[in-house]
Structure 1
Amino acid sequence: MKVYKIPEATVMRLSVYSRYLHQLLEDGIDTISSGEIARGVGVSSAQVRKDLAYFGEFGTRGVGYKVEELYGHLMKILGLDHRWNIILVGAGKLGSALALYRGFADRGFNICTILDVDKDRIGSRLGDIEIESIELIKEKVRKYKISIGVVAVPAPAAQDVTDQLISAGVKAILNFSPRVLQVPNDVVLRNVDLSVHLEVLSFNLALDK
């Protein structure tokens, strides 16, 4: 699995910062300090400055940051200054919810093809997209120049689907299945296991008992 020098936690915070700055733009706010950003997203001002320092110098000492300018920098750093085509594999309940979630498109992620193995689902539609057979995976990746694959299949099928995506040329995978996947060093893998987040919550609740 590909590993980068910038801490993943920093990248996640940059995403939060960008969303907060977008809210400020909608509210008509022109400038902001690191302390105000920190209070808005729930971290320290030192953390904000440290995260931004990985990518250069922003803002003016004693004045702060121009919101629109900083937002533009963060969108470029996050690769959100252009659109990414996505292939979604798995059209069950989770896959359907992901396919219909409008927030992806708002951030530049375009789900352009949905594949499944269930013959009862193939041919039906999720929004504007027709569900097609997973046998078309290589054709679809090539046709739409897919950058990111989303795996929303049951755990037993997740590794096989991931292998097919990689074989088709996909270099970044978002895994929603509760299975640890194996990928080559040149592939970026991100796991989203909702039960893990619930377990973190239960851990914190248990500490308070």
Structure 2
Amino acid sequence: MKLSDNTLERICKVFGYLNFLSSKGVGFVSSLELAKGIGATAYNVRKDFSLLGVTGYTRRGYPAEVLKQQLGQRLNLTKRRKACIVGLGRLGSALLDYEKFAEDGFEIVAGFDSSINKIERLRTNIELYSIDQLTKVVKERSIDLGIIAVPAKAVQEVADKLVAAGIKGILNFSPVKILVAKNIVHLDMDFTSALRFVAAKFSLQK
């Protein structure tokens, strides 16, 4: 199935919003309500659903739980995924025990760092390893996803190691974009650039 990144992003947001609605006991939801919840248009939401062959719309809207199941099945969103974190500084160590990951089907099974002292100081239930053991652990634990939280100068080297170990997807929290093969799904997320964008945008509104 071929979907644009924009479509895929909207559907993933809808899936997360449906989780929220389910926790509130909402039984039915319209495309307009979903669109408002994720900051999109009802037209785009309906178009996305048609691409996936989503059915079940009634006068009351979509049955929220059924819709969530359909989206989950079509995009394999309900499958639990194993992930690891490379770089156990303030950001990486904070992400280790982030409860929302487990709630949404992502299991952090390992953490890696180049500093043995840092590994020994951290208190967590997640197994921690030296970066030298990354390839071995990723293969043995069948880890799909890698989260990079290392300094900029080490980012590309870490990305290369993750790819060589068999990682299928990478979330990079460094200000430096990584270069990987086209078959490796990756997303670069730079907090500083995001804050800079927000600050610049509200400055222009003055």
The alignment's TM-score, normalised by the length of structure 2, stands at 0.92
Q: Give yes or no for contact 1:83–1:110 (8 Å, CA) kept in 2.
A: yes
Equivalenced residues, count: 206
Query: CA RMSD, aligned part only?
Result: 1.8
User: Partner of 2:191 in structure 1?
Assistant: 194
* 1:154-195 deviation line (CA, Å, top 9, x unaligned): 000010011111111112111111111110122111111112
User: Partner of 1:53 in structure 2?
Assistant: 50
Q: Which amino acid is 2:149 matched to?
A: A
Q: Separation in 2 of the partners of 1:121 and 1:163?
A: 23
Q: Separation in 2 of the partners of 1:175 and 1:53?
A: 32
Q: Which amino acid is 2:115 matched to?
A: D
Q: Give yes or no for contact 1:147–1:170 (8 Å, CA) kept in 2.
A: yes
User: Partner of 2:21 in structure 1?
Assistant: 24
User: Partner of 1:167 in structure 2?
Assistant: 164
* Structure with the larger helix share: 2
Q: Does 1:134 align with 2:122?
A: no
**1:118 aligns with one of 115, 125, 140:** 115
Q: Separation in 1 of the partners of 2:34 and 2:53?
A: 17
Q: Which amino acid is 2:19 matched to?
A: H
* Runs of 4+ that moved beyond 6 A: none
Q: CA deviation at 1:12?
A: 2.0
Q: Give yes or no for contact 2:54–2:70 (8 Å, CA) kept in 1.
A: no
Q: Separation in 2 of the partners of 1:43 and 1:187?
A: 28
Q: Which amino acid is 2:96 matched to?
A: A
Q: Separation in 2 of the partners of 1:108 and 1:26?
A: 16
Q: Which has the higher contact order (CA 8 A, sep 6+)?
A: 1
**Which has the higher mean CA deviation after the structures are superposed, 183-192 or 53-62?**
53-62
Q: Does 1:177 align with 2:174?
A: yes
Q: Does 1:99 align with 2:57?
A: no
Q: Separation in 1 of the partners of 2:142 and 2:22?
A: 32
Q: Which amino acid is 2:61 matched to?
A: G
Q: Kindly tell me: are residues 42 and 169 of structure 1, through their superposed partners in 2, closer, same or farther at Cα, counting changes over 3 Å?
A: closer
Q: Separation in 2 of the partners of 1:73 and 1:33?
A: 15
* 1:110-148 deviation line (CA, Å, top 9, x unaligned): 110111001211334442024211111111011110101
User: Partner of 1:85 in structure 2?
Assistant: 82
Q: Which amino acid is 2:116 matched to?
A: K
Unaligned stretches of 5+ in structure 2? Answer: none
